Amino acid sequence: MLKLGVIASGHGSNFQAIINAIENKELDAKIEVLITDNPDAYSIQRAKKHSIPIELIERKNFPTRIAFDEKIISTLKSYSIDLVVLAGYMRLLKSQKWFSEFPIRIINIHPALLPSFPGTHAQKDAFEYGVKISGCTVHFVDEGLDTGPIIAQRSVDISDCVSEEEVKKKILVQEHHLYKSVIKMFTKGSFRMEGRRVVYTQD
């Protein structure tokens, strides 16, 4: 069984979609811990409801970003996590230890078709640019802002959306499906890198 460590800063609908997929037996995985940097994150309520251990690790309690990151890394290690799942975690990974401790084992979901519209306002940026097709991307995380190697993408037709909110909602539905299907891939096979290309082999 794949041991997941989820890191979320906010609402946690992707976190909930993973919880549901595990409870419905669609995913042979277990969420060992929710780590959050935000004491007001609604994700905390979700974890409580499903008896998932919660670790609140706040930036303000650490002298440096590296010390903060290394506390999160050591917490993940203490739960023997196989796969680190960022679900609405709005910070860059600053310590190099992330990548030595969890090589090609940290994933993130982003609400746009990367490399278009990286950053924290992807849906707004796509809507205002006027693109007709956007979508979502699951990628391995590196030290950059949404720059890591792409694992999977799903396109979403946003040509009928009249607001940024509508774009967000329409893409979020697909994020939930995509994230679940990528985590499932980790339970059934392995990934390797060929340059920037992510190659998957099923067991």
Residue 13 in contact with ligand GAR, rule: CB under 6 A: yes
Omega of the bond prior to 53 within 30 degrees of 0, cis? no
Place of tokens 């909930």: 16
Residue 155 in contact with ligand GAR, rule: CB under 6 A: no
33 has which bridge partners? 5
Binding segment toward ligand GAR, per CB under 6 A, in 9-17, 46-54, 74-82, 126-134: 9-17
Place of tokens 């509508």: 166
Of 82, 93, 111, 178, the residue at the interface with ligand GAR (CB under 6 A) is 111
Residue 106 in contact with ligand GAR, rule: CB under 6 A: no
HEC states along 70-116?
Answer: HHHHHHHHHCCCCEEEECCCCCCCCCCHHHHHCCCCEEEEECCCCCC
> Could you tell me how many residues of this chain bind ligand GAR (CB under 6 A)?
16
Report the nearest approach of ligand GAR to the CB of residue 203 (Å): 28
Binding stretches for ligand GAR (CB under 6 A):
8, 10-14, 87-88, 109-111, 120, 122, 146, 172, 175
